[in-house]
Amino acid sequence: MEEVPAAKLTCRELDVLRLLAWGLSNRLLARRLGISEKTVKNHLGSIYFKIGATDRTQAALYAQHVGLTDAGEAAPSAAVPVPGKDAPPAGPALTARERGVLRLLAWGLSNRLIARRLGISEKTVKNHLGSIYFKIGATGRTQAALYAQHVDLLAS
């Protein structure tokens, strides 16, 4: 991702990006901001373009990187797992393979690319992701990627 200052985003786009970084779905973003899901999608398209992201996971990681979120701050109606508070630590709870899948997911790889990189099937990747989500208390890819970043899984 290109490092574009968050200042180039409008106030509403910054609001959307902050909530996205909490792992909220488009529906919850829309409810929280009092706008339609279509408007949320439009804002996300604009945000992705401005920050050089290709998906919501990259955008959420960008938001954390530039300091738009506080890792300990709880999201309304959908908390991002925080080790020691909401979820078990990544180390002992996740298998080595699950940590590998989670690391690749946090790098922004699709299930297909994760499968190719690890020499496993896409179905196996989906199974690992289901197990990962359950163990760390995530509801989807974005929350899992944020969790991986929080526990410094990207550095290892």
Cβ–Cβ under 8 Å, residues 147 and 64: no
- pLDDT of 143 above 60: yes
| Owner of token pair 């199974």 | 127
Classify residue 41 as left (phi > 0), alpha (psi -120 to 50) or beta. alpha
User: Which token pair is 100?
Assistant: 């590998």
Q: Which pTM value belongs to this model?
A: 0.61
**What 8-state DSSP symbol labels residue 76?**
S
> Any idea what the Cα angle at residue 54 is, between residues 6 and 123, rounded to 5°?
140
User: Which token pair is 73?
Assistant: 């701050």
pLDDT digits (tens, 9 = 90+) for 112-124: 999 999 999 999 9
Tell me the percentage of the chain whose pLDDT exceeds 90.
37
